[in-house]
């Protein structure tokens, strides 16, 4: 699975358990990111709607949530992947920008990305396979990158995995139906169809995902943007578009309060990092507008970057890792009997 800061890989079993005990049939994942949680809900048989601001996240959600893998022609997808894997690399924008001017990937792999991405646009735009193939390409690039998992900087020396040859693999489609939406959770919350269960996993600091994962944005948009700085970020990272209220300490509490109020769901689950801007009691206060509230504190392994060290923009180590454990508050709010049943199901 892709390296993604704030991803809830380790929380998935707990969230799945809660969803199952809620007996929900429909669910909403409002900050879906990698779609890990939405996928787990879909695997439980729920009809899931996955929302996120990021373009790459929409591609993931179209692949894993909206597409019914049960009725997809998987042999056709395998043939398309084999064809793309057999292409000869051809240096283009991606190679120049991310492998020569910056060093996120080795040029041999950048050339393969350029060749595959051009072919995807030329031969698969409009096909049901477009998003699964693009997902497979992002995952393949992630497996051979030379970063600590965010694209603020690249490592000074090539990461060993970057020597491997980039190759597409089956992204593993899931049976069932769902919906993928790219947009602002705050604007969408009151517009979306009511659901049984909503999961909220907002960002918890000032670092924007648009900036942290600018290469995936560019790989999806394929718009050859002008870039700036050593990290070669898209020029529009500097602008005000693609900003989220959740990345501003001053705006975040009101944004979260409005969202909690607006979301149309019987039960809501919110996860929030204990290191961050809102205290546990403030979270409980915000969520109590939805009924009974219970909190589960999960000892959550810190993002791997914090374990490896602190790096400057040239990928040089400039600091030591901080404390390695922190808590994730999982707040559950709604009807008292149901919320208690959900929490009790975990013991
Ligand atoms: C903590 S991550 C979610 C991780 C996700 N649960 C997972 O396991 O992969 C927060 C996500 O919120 C998205 N985001 C930030 N602001 C948003 C907004 N206003 N509306 C919708 N999504 C937003 C980011 O793009 C990012 O993917």
Q: Give the 3-state secondary structure of residue 222.
A: coil
Percent of the chain surpassing pLDDT 90 = 84
Question: CA 66 to CA 48: how far, in whole Å?
Answer: 8
Instruction: Tally Cβ neighbours within 10 Å of residue 99.
Output: 23
Average pLDDT on 58-79 reads 98
Domain-located, residue 337: yes
Residue 33 Cα to ligand 1 middle (Å):
5
Q: First vs last Cα of the chain: how many Å apart? A: 29
- Expressed as residue numbers, the domain containing 105 is 73-172
Which residue did the predictor score with more confidence, 310 or 127?
127
The distance of Cα 50 from the centroid of its chain, to the nearest Å, equals 11
Total domains in the chain come to 2
> Which of 63, 64, 65, 209 has most ligand 1 atoms within 8 Å of its beta carbon, as the pocket-test mutant?
209
CATH number, position 294: 3.40.50.150
Q: Give the CA angle between residues 247, 253, 256 to the nearest 5°.
A: 85
248 and 344 belong to one structural domain: yes
Residue 54 Cα to ligand 1 middle (Å):
8
Instruction: Tally Cβ neighbours within 10 Å of residue 70.
Output: 11
What are the tens digits of pLDDT across the range 199-257?
999 998 888 999 999 999 999 999 999 999 999 999 999 988 778 899 898 999 999 99
Percent of the chain surpassing pLDDT 70 = 93
65 and 159 belong to one structural domain: no
Band (pLDDT 50/70/90 cuts) for residue 316 is low
Domain-located, residue 295: yes
Q: Give the CA angle between residues 314, 320, 325 to the nearest 5°.
A: 120
25 and 101 belong to one structural domain: no
166 and 283 belong to one structural domain: no
Residue 116 Cα to ligand 1 middle (Å):
28
Band (pLDDT 50/70/90 cuts) for residue 304 is very low
Question: CA 199 to CA 189: how far, in whole Å?
Answer: 12
pTM beyond 0.85: the answer is yes
Residue 100 Cα to ligand 1 middle (Å):
30
């Amino acid at each position: 699975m892709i390296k993604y800061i704030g991803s809830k890989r380790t929380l998935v079993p707990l969230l799945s358990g809660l969803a199952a005990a809620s007996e929900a049939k429909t669910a909403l994942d409002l900050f879906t990111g990698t779609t890990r949680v939405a996928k787990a809900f879909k695997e439980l048989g729920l009809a899931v709607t996955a929302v996120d601001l990021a373009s790459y996240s929409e591609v993931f959600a179209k692949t894993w949530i909206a597409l019914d893998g049960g009725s997809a022609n998987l042999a056709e997808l395998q043939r398309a992947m084999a064809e793309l894997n057999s292409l000869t690399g051809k240096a283009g924008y991606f190679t120049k920008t991310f492998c020569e001017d910056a060093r996120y990937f080795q040029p041999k792999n950048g050339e393969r990305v350029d060749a595959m991405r051009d072919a995807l646009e030329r031969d698969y735009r409009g096909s049901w396979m477009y998003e699964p193939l693009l997902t497979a390409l992002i995952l393949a690039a992630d497996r051979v990158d030379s970063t600590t998992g965010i694209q603020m900087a690249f490592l000074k020396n090539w990461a060993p995995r970057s020597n491997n040859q980039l190759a597409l693999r089956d992204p593993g489609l899931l049976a069932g139906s769902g919906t993928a939406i790219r947009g602002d959770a705050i604007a969408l919350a009151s517009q979306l169809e009511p659901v049984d269960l909503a999961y909220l996993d907002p960002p918890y600091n000032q670092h924007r995902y648009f900036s942290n994962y600018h290469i995936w944005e560019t790989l999806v948009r394929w718009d050859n943007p002008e870039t700036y700085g050593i990290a070669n970020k898209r020029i529009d990272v500097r602008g005000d578009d693609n900003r989220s209220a959740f990345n501003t300490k001053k705006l975040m509490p009101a944004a979260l309060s409005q969202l909690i109020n607006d979301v149309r769901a019987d039960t809501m689950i919110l996860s929030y990092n204990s290191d961050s801007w809102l205290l546990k009691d403030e979270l409980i206060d915000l969520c109590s507008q939805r009924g009974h509230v219970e909190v589960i504190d999960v000892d959550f392994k810190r993002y791997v970057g914090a374990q490896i060290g602190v790096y400057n923009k040239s990928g040089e180590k400039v600091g030591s890792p901080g404390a390695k454990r922190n808590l994730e508050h999982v707040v559950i709010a709604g009807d008292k009997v149901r919320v208690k049943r959900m929490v009790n199901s975990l013991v």
